[in-house]
């Protein structure tokens, strides 16, 4: 099984969906999840230009936030936001222009992967048989 794949991926994460209690009784949730991609679209606000989240404040649901809010995923989000800000300044573009243009997006993702070492897809490995 795999989680949904996003054409605009800027990283990966893997963590349990861990929702802390609210004001209602018995609201703690802790369930496993599949490794997932971080979509660039979640870093681009709907109503604002040139503002990027750097960790927990990206556009995801309450449930999804249960696995996006952990440090390893936050670090990836922050690094992607910083790389996107620098890319936009160097290319005189807005984040939305990068995400909404397939060629620009592919160039940005290539830079993330090849120059900065980002993992954009969860790797799959063949089973290893001992000899």
Q: 3-class DSSP state for residue 31?
A: strand
Please report whether residue 31 resides in a domain. Answer: yes
Averaged pLDDT, 80-108: 98
106 occurs within a structural domain: yes
64/91: higher pLDDT: 91
The count of structural domains within the chain is 1
Pairing of strands 36-39, 9-13: antiparallel
Residue 98 lies in a domain: yes
Entry pTM:
0.85
Tell me: pLDDT of 12 over 80: yes
The answer on pLDDT for 8 being more than 90 is yes
Residue with more model confidence, 115 or 3: 115
Tell me, yes or no, whether 119 lies in a domain.
no
Residue 38 covered by a domain: yes
- Residue 105 within a domain: yes
Structural domain including 32 reads: 9-114
In a domain, 100, yes or no: yes
Q: What is the dihedral sign for C-alpha 93, 99, 102, 105?
A: positive
Please tell me the predicted confidence (pLDDT) of residue 98.
98
């Amino acid at each position: 099984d795999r989680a949904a794949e996003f054409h605009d991926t800027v990283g990966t994460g893997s963590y349990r969906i861990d929702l802390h209690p609210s004001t209602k009784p018995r609201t703690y949730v802790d369930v496993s999840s599949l490794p997932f991609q971080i979509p660039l679209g979640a870093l681009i606000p709907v109503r604002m230009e040139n503002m990027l989240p750097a960790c927990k404040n990206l556009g995801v649901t309450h449930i999804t936030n249960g696995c996006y809010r952990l440090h390893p995923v936050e670090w990836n989000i922050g690094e992607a936001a910083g790389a996107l800000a620098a890319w936009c300044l160097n290319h005189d573009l807005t984040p939305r222009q990068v995400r909404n243009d397939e060629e620009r997006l592919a160039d940005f993702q290539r830079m993330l992967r090849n120059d900065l070492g980002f993992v954009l897809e969860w790797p799959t490995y063949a089973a290893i048989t001992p000899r």
